[in-house]
Structure 1
Amino acid sequence: MNASPSHQPHPAEWTETQSLLPSAERDLPAGRHQFHKEQMMARIHEDLRTPRTAPVAPPKRPNPFLRRAVLLPAAAFALAGAVVGGLALTGGGAQGGKTALATGPALTTQVGVADAKGAPQLLGRISLAAADTSAPTPRKGQYVYIASKVADTYVKDDGGAKVVSDELHTRQVWEDLDGKDGWLIEAGATSDEGMTLASDVSKTGAYNALVELPTDPDALLRQIYRDSDAVRDPEVPRDQAAFVAIGDLLTESFPPAEVSAALYKAAAKIPGVVAVNDAVDATGRHGIAIARENDADGQRTEWIFDKKTLEFLGSRDVVVKKMADSPFEVGTVRHTSAITERAFVDAAKRVPGQAS
């Protein structure tokens, strides 16, 4: 998949019925992208993504690797962070500095209608479509390459707390099949050249770990609950943590077709999962969604799929309930992402089609 937005409006036009500006920085909403993104613990993420002006509490600007670190465990789904798993982060640019990201008004969207009864049927169709997908099998020594467009909304203290959003920007991740070696390039989080992601332990969610997951939905869901319970933030409800864990494995990983199909079937068994009639990914593509609301923060995590092919497009976190202690209004998009390319490549920092 190589989709990319063709029109990029001014930040003042940032709504999800239009394309978003491609450019530079991103934040993950607390508890969500909370997501993956690679095996680092929250402490490390804060160092990576400390904003130039400190955000106000209670909402905190999450970091590019926060989601998995918050919700997932050391066994099959957790990311082993530097503190617990020997992860090393090494900046890659000679200049060393991170690219500053411009900000605009909060990203907003129309909240789609949720249908609890329609979720099992839709997930059944998505599972069948995933199982029918012909995905390549990597060779030893190859890397998973995932490119995406991402943006976040957060609170910024700039002479007065206000809700702002980063420009939509590109995120590129390379990861070896064990998840022990990789590279990240993301404006606002790394230098232009990127940084090394290295660990002395295998990453759960890496390709070789995904291959070993059970494909029986019941067994798979038991493992997801067991592993997410081991590291779940106490403020994140158990069912929400399991839902987010599955979403992480679908987003910045490259599961074999049979594993993807099993993950969707497992998700259908989580209480509170709903279908959403309309959702928009970071590049402006409309689709249908599978979602679950986190009652603790009023945010709904949505997995977005093409309405015709049921291909996974991306995900987003939308405020669907106003919380008394939160500055975020209903319809605020806390995080949005769209996968633009996913492939196996022969080396880190190499993109598909590039000569060896």
Structure 2
Amino acid sequence: MNASPSQPHPAEWTETQGLLPSAERDLPAGRHQLHKEQMMAQIHEDLRVSSRTSPAVPPKRPNPFLRPTILLPAMAFALAGAVVGGLALTGGGSDGGATALATGPALTTRIGTADAKGAPQLLGRISLAATTSAPTPHQGQYVYITSKVASTHYREDGDDSKVVSDKLHSRQVWNSLDGKDGWLIEAGETSGKGITLAGKIPSASAYSTLARLPTDPDALLQRIYRQSDAHRDAEVPRDQAAFVAIGDLLTESYPPAKVSAALYRAAVNIPGVVAVDDATDAMGRHGVAIARENPADGERTEWIFDKTTLQFLGQRSVVVKKVAGSAFKVGTVTITSAITDRSIVDANKQIPGQVI
């Protein structure tokens, strides 16, 4: 599952949530947004405190691409629905710097052709490729993931309303194997040195938790449904919540190879899952995709894989159906990511190959 950087292309301008262990508390209906706001307030307080010894960072509204598996309570973000890309940004006032990244034209893409009959065969091939792709870390090491990310928003600025997108920017995350320690550096969102993730990483995305998941795909899917049923908002379709949960475990965590393979085999049995002949990650790399459309918002979440190696490249969400009341046109990319490196390192904030 290690993703290697490729030559950057102009991006044709994908997201999701960890499998919640039973030890996590249920989130009452309607409380997801409150939890998100509370956690983001804590993150930005960290930034304010760290800025006393670091170059000043202008205050920002939360970037919806700050990953839920890192910064928000488990299941609180992705299972609230695929509205993440549509969060309204308000310009002006003291928060005028909040939309600094979200100033470009809306990201758009060609929509690949979906094939429901091709999904089982493609997932079978992806599962087989995944069985030999992940290393086995040892105690004290960290999972390191670096990626390129961007997202799209509906922006309100007085009488001016429009759809805008972030600049493609870099993101680096370190997670300890037990999920108790970590670090985040994201261009435009954290100071140059980054912020600590100690105490902010849901145990669901920790390697130690993932390693204990069942590798029987039927048992694994039952657990995914059970947990997503307990924590999803009522308006999120049950099958979409399960698909989103698997996708998050693939994006910014590093499941053991056998677990990754089981997740792909489990996805075969989620109704509505399709194969897509062509999809492009945030770096402009073309691949094939496993996807599912959320009929509630017309967005299709796509897991993108290299066409030859079937290596996981990244994720994106694309509007494939116009929904009444939505400002997003068909072809709009609301979330996009491209993994450029996924490695095991010996210490927090260590770069692969760096001697510390």
Residue in structure 2 matched with residue 123 of structure 1 by the alignment: 123
Cα separation, partners in 2 of 1:311 and 1:300, compared to 1, 3 Å:
same
Structure 1 counterpart of 2:67, from 53, 65, 68? 65
Structure 1 stretches of 5 or more lacking a match?
Answer: 17-31, 55-59, 79-96
Matched residue SS, 2:209: helix
Contact 1:185 1:194 in 2 (8 A): yes
1:34-183 correspondence to structure 2 within 5 Å: 35=17, 41-47=35-41, 48=43, 62-66=64-68, 69=72, 72=75, 100-101=100-101, 103-133=103-133, 135-159=134-158, 160-183=160-183
Aligned pair count reads: 309
State the match for 2:249 in structure 1: 249
Q: Please identify which structure carries the higher helix content.
A: 2
Which whole-Å CA distance do the structure 1 matches of 2:201 and 2:278 have between them?
40
Of 12, 15, 30 in structure 2, the residue corresponding to residue 15 of structure 1 is 12
1:223-257 Cα offsets, whole Å, 9 max, x none, are 01111112112221111010000000011011111
Identify the residue that residue 312 of structure 1 maps to in structure 2. 312
State the 1:200 CA deviation. Answer: 8.2
TM (norm. structure 2) is 0.79
User: By how many angstroms is 1:346 displaced?
Assistant: 1.4
> Structure 1 residues 267 and 49 mapped into 2: Cα distance closer, same or farther (>3 Å)?
farther
Measured at CA, do residues 257 and 175 of structure 1 come closer, stay the same or move farther in structure 2, by a change above 3 Å? same
Maintained 8 Å contact 2:106/2:164: yes
- 2:15 is matched with 33
Q: CA RMSD in A?
A: 3.1
- Report the TM-score when normalising by structure 1: 0.79
For 1:64, what is the secondary structure of its paired residue?
Answer: coil
Structure 1 match to 2:86: none
Q: What's 1:83 paired with?
A: none
Residue identity opposite 1:157 in structure 2: E
Cα 1:202–1:293, aligned 2, differ >3 Å: closer, same or farther?
Answer: closer
The 1:345/1:37 distance shift into structure 2, 3 A limit, reads farther
Provide closer, same or farther for how the CA distance between residues 293 and 118 of structure 1 changes in structure 2, counting only shifts above 3 A. same
Deviation at 1:155, TM superposition (A): 1.1
Query: Residue 45 of structure 1 contacts residue 62 of structure 1 at CA under 8 Å; is this kept in 2?
Result: no
Deviation at 1:43, TM superposition (A): 2.0
Distance 2:109 2:73 in 1: 26
Aligned partner letter, 1:72: M
Structure 1 partner of 2:323: 323
Change (3 A) 1:158 1:45: farther
2:8 to 6, 11, 29: 6
SS in 2 for 1:204: helix
Q: Distance in 1 between matches of 2:268 and 2:112?
A: 19
Q: C-alpha distance in 2, partners of 1:42/1:345? A: 30
Contact in 2 for aligned 1:173/1:182 (Cα 8 Å): yes
CA separation of 1:170/1:157 partners in 2, compared to 1, >3 Å: closer, same or farther? Answer: same
182-191 or 312-321: bigger deviation: 182-191
Unaligned residue ranges in structure 2 (runs of 5+): 25-31, 46-57, 80-96
CA distance, structure 1, for counterparts of residue 340 and residue 274 of structure 2: 25
